[in-house]
């Protein structure tokens, strides 16, 4: 009886996972690793995975196991725990240019107009696809180690601030922040105010 209840609970859990939010998972890298023991070397696999919902949430994780499938499963579980919410501009690109660094990994991420697509390579492309970004230009400078590149990319994305957050911090309206971003510099606005005061 107890065994049947456990089986039913397990089935319910599996259904909930499959019916819940559909996650996009990307395998970034898989390495064969060795552990040196008394009798020789024991081989295993290390997987690095990126997971996202395509709507602004993304995470990455790593896992080690003797089999590739087990390593991937561990990495997926780790990535789901580390998922973070990233604010996107119009749901398609980043709000402003970003710079991230971790160890020897440096990344530059730039906002892009509609129709640009994802111009990025390797682990960075996997992050943007899982995140739901459609237009972005990104460049990695320095190391090509996928772990450092991913960490540098997440460091950059976590530094991004939406106009709403900036407006709340400065005590201004969102419209004022967006106006400046769209090409109306602060000098023009101050000059216009000076002209008005002179006319009066």
What domains sit in the chain, N to C, each tagged with a CATH number?
Answer: 19-163 (3.30.230.10)
Average pLDDT rounded to a whole number, residues 190-196: 48
pTM for this prediction: 0.72
Distance CA 176, CA 184 (A): 10
Token pair recorded at residue 182: 């769209």
Distance CA 174, CA 180 (A): 10
Token pair recorded at residue 134: 């459609």
75 and 61 Cβ atoms separated by less than 8 Å:
yes
pLDDT at 51 > cutoff 90:
yes
pLDDT digits (tens, 9 = 90+) for 127-138: 999 988 888 999
Predicted pLDDT of residue 169: 67
Q: Is the dihedral of CA 161, 162, 165, 166 positive or negative?
A: positive
Between the CA atoms of 180, 182, 184 and 185, what dihedral angle is there, to the nearest 10 degrees?
50
pLDDT band at residue 148 using 50, 70 and 90 as cut-offs = very high
pLDDT at 106 > cutoff 80:
yes
Extended strands (E) in 11-157: 24-37, 40-52, 57-65, 84-85, 98-102, 105-111, 118-119, 136-142
pLDDT band at residue 49 using 50, 70 and 90 as cut-offs = very high
pLDDT at 1 > cutoff 50:
no
Token pair recorded at residue 5: 């209840």
63 and 72 Cβ atoms separated by less than 8 Å:
yes
Q: Which of 122, 172, 130, 171 is nearest to 150 (CA)?
A: 122
Place of tokens 């996972």: 17
Give the residue with greater pLDDT, 172 vs 117. 117
pLDDT band at residue 7 using 50, 70 and 90 as cut-offs = low
Identify any residues that bridge with 34 across adjacent strands, giving them in sequence order: 43
């Amino acid at each position: 009886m107890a065994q049947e209840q456990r089986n039913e609970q397990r089935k319910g859990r599996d259904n909930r996972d499959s019916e819940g939010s559909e996650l996009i998972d990307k395998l970034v890298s898989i390495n064969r690793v060795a552990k040196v023991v008394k009798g020789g070397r024991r081989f295993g696999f290390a997987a690095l995975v990126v997971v996202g919902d395509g709507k602004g949430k993304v995470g990455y994780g790593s896992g080690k196991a003797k089999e590739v499938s087990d390593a991937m499963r561990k990495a997926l579980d780790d990535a789901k725990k580390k998922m973070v919410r990233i604010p996107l501009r119009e749901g398609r690109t980043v709000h402003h240019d970003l710079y991230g660094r971790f160890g020897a990994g440096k990344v530059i991420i730039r906002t892009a107009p509609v129709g640009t697509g994802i111009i990025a390579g390797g682990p960075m492309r996997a992050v943007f696809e899982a995140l739901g970004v459609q237009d972005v230009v990104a460049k990695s400078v320095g190391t090509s180690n996928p772990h450092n590149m991913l960490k540098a990319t997440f460091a950059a994305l976590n530094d991004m601030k939406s106009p709403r957050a900036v407006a709340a911090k400065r005590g201004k309206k969102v419209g004022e922040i967006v106006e400046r971003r769209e090409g109306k510099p602060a000098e023009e606005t101050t000059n216009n105010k000076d002209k008005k005061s002179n006319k009066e």
